[in-house]
Structures are given as structure tokens and as C-alpha cells.
Amino acid sequence: MDLIAIDPGKKTAIAHFIHGQLAKVLLTDGEAPCRPSWIHQWPICPILVEWPEYRREGGGKKSTPEDLITLAYRAGRAVEACSGLCSTVIKVPVSSWKGQTTKEITWERSLRALSPLELHQVPDSWDARDAVALGLWALRRISLIPCTLAL
């Protein structure tokens, strides 16, 4: 299974998986993500984008409406940068793929699922780590909240 996973943020991360293996991670400016130079090499595949959501109650980090608008804008720009490559764009709210699981625990589980070669592709950035973890979750290589996506 090939897919692209995007984590929008100050630095937007784009993780590309080929045949279920992490092939490349791009870390780019969230305000204006660039079209990756290696984009022509990507086959048609689904794009998963971590979609911001507003939480009124419960645990976890609270975001302001302004933060969410900024993240949604950055998510849209990142999808635009990858447009024309895939048949579907799937918006994945944080609560549907990792719930209240912390970044640290999510990354710890991701580390166990990645080969040394795959790990070498991941920049030292939480945005990059989240993009990789989102892809691993969709590919059912890590267990957080059960994945119900039909890819």
C-alpha cells in the first residue's frame, strides 16, 4: 500500500510510504509548503492529512479557534502542494487516530515499528514524527485507536 501522510504545523511534514514502507519525509514551511522535487516519482495514492479539531472538554492540549484556523489553512496548503497525485484526500482528526495518546508514547510505538533504514528518513521534528506515525497507523503497523479507514 502506498500513501502520503501529512502533519500540518509551523513546519509541515509530508511522509511518503511505498509498499507500506517509509520512503521519504519532507519537512517544509507550514505557511507555504513547497511541492517536493521528488513528487513526480510518487504513484497515485491516498493522502491522509491530520485535521485539526476543537475540543471544548476533556484532557489534552486545548487549541484556540485562531490556532485551528491556521492549522486548517496549513493542512489545505500541504494537500494543494501534493494535489494531482492521488485519488482521495482523507481528513483524519487527531481524536480518531491517536486520541489522548501523548506525542512521546505515539513516537515510542512508532520507533518499534520502523526499520533502521526507515528511521534514517525521519527528521528530528515532532511534526515529522506525527506524519510518520499517522502513516504507520493507517497501514496498521502501530496500534493506537483501531484504524477503520478503507484504503
pLDDT (tens digit, 9 = 90+) per residue, 86-103?
567 888 988 889 888 888
pLDDT (tens digit, 9 = 90+) per residue, 118-138?
999 999 999 999 999 999 999
Residue type, 52: P
**pLDDT at residue 21 is higher than 70:** yes
pLDDT reported for residue 41: 58
Q: Give me 81's grid cell.
A: 502542494
Q: Mind listing the domains of the chain with CATH numbers?
A: 3-138 (3.30.420.10)
Distance, CA of 75 to CA of 127 (rounded, Å): 12
Distance, CA of 129 to CA of 104 (rounded, Å): 10
Q: For the chain, give the percent of residues with pLDDT over 70.
A: 81
